[in-house]
Amino acid sequence: MDIDFITQILFAAIKTGTPLLLIALGEVVCEKSGVLNLGQEGMMLMGAVVGFLAAYSTGSAGLGIFGAIFMGATMSLIFAFLVLHLNTNQVATGLALTIFGTGLSAFIGSGVVGETIQGFQPIIIPLLSDIPVIGKIFFTHDLLVYISILLAIAIAYVTNKTRIGLILKAVGENPNAANAIGINVLKVRYLAVLFGGAMAGLSGAYMSLVYTPMWIENMTSGRGWIALALVVFASWRVGNIVLGAYLFGLASIMHLVLQGMGWSISSNLLSMLPYVATVIVMVIIGADHFKEKLLAPRSLGKPFNPRQMA
């Protein structure tokens, strides 16, 4: 293994980890408000298909991104209404959102399967990209990779250092207390869920506009679910999410690494690596039950019902 090979692998790990990073950043904000949205996969697929359709019909990848963000947010609005207003079970509603999104995306995308578009071009950052090895790995990506890192920094700042972050935390930890001091719990949760949906849409757009770039049914292949595991794995901390996303990115391209090293294992068997990695991660997290309980938002998955308060 030479240094060029390692550089390429790490570059690809970041590229592959970016959709996971985007969607996990949205989900962590949503979960911090106490709402568990299992509809990630469905929102991501809808973002991917709508982003692709918008870019395909207008010729503008930028419009595709906006379309995807809008679609992801719209999908999450359905979830938010059911969960926050009708107090439906968050797990079942999230599953419904995934099934709905999977079906609807396959339906509206059936006309453009196999079509290709001009995706995003890489932006090579001057000077920084000239640094040996590191320059190539970090500073020769497309726009969305840089945006995802900036978003991670912004979210880390807002959730940890600002009043907004404090309100979010209060709502997720103890909605009744938050309500008592005059915070509109449902409004905060609506906004958090919407943000999660928008990020899931953006993540989907990354898949269909940058990563492949084309639309294939079910093209996210479980990334929405992996992101849910990633958030727990990262103990709801943004810094850990960034690291974890790139680690999962690395696991997803491990088959290329092994083939590059001359191993001859069936690619069908190797394609299960990211999922096996997720299961292992779930086992590690679960085994440390005490830590998980300590770090998870206290009211995660539990409905807040202002009607009972009245």
Partner 1 sequence: MKALPFKLIPTLEARIEPSLIMKISSPILAIFLTLIVGSILFSLLGKDPLHAMQVLLVAPLSDAYNINEMLVKMGPLLLCAVGLAICYRANLWNIGAEGQLLIGALGGSAVALQFVDSSAWFALPLTLIAGVLSGMLWAAIPTLLKLKFNSNLILTTIMFNYIALSLLNWGVHGPLKDPDGYGFPESAMFSEATTLPLLFSEGRAHLGVLFALVLALMTAFLLSKSHLGFQIKVFGSDEAAAKYAGFSSTKLTWIVMLFAGALAGLAGIAEVAGPIGQLVPGISPGYGYSAIIIAYLGRLNPIGTILATLFMAVLYMGGDLAQIELGIPTAVIGMFQGVLLFFLLACDFFINYRLNFNKSNAAYAQ
Give the binding range for partner 1 (CB under 8 A) out of 57-65, 80-88, 128-136, 170-178.
80-88
- Cα 89 to chain centroid, rounded: 22
Q: Binder to partner 1 among 17, 19, 101, 249 (CB under 8 A)?
A: 101
Q: Binder to partner 1 among 282, 291, 298, 306 (CB under 8 A)?
A: 282
CA–CA gap between residue 12 and residue 66 (Å, rounded)? 25
Give the pair of three-digit tokens for residue 188: 């905060």
CA geometry: angle 105, 244, 44, nearest 5 deg: 10
CA–CA gap between residue 167 and residue 163 (Å, rounded)? 6
CB contact at 8 A, 19 and 72: no
The kind and range of the H/E element at 45 are helix 40-58
CA distances from 156 to 7, 28, 143, 284, 294 (A): 28, 10, 20, 25, 19
Name residues contacting partner 1, limited to 230-259 (CB under 8 A): 232
Q: Binder to partner 1 among 73, 229, 234, 296 (CB under 8 A)?
A: 229
Q: Binder to partner 1 among 104, 125, 147, 295 (CB under 8 A)?
A: 104
Tell the smallest beta-carbon distance from residue 280 to partner 1 (Å): 10
Site string for partner 1, 27-46 (x = CB under 8 A): -----------x---x----
CA–CA gap between residue 29 and residue 257 (Å, rounded)? 33
Question: Is position 197 an interface residue for partner 1 (rule: CB under 8 A)?
Answer: no
Tell the smallest beta-carbon distance from residue 20 to partner 1 (Å): 14
Residues in contact with partner 1 by the rule CB under 8 A: 38, 42, 78, 82, 86-89, 91-93, 95-104, 106-107, 110, 217, 221-222, 225-226, 228-229, 232, 266, 268-269, 271-272, 275-276, 278-279, 282-283, 285-287, 289, 307
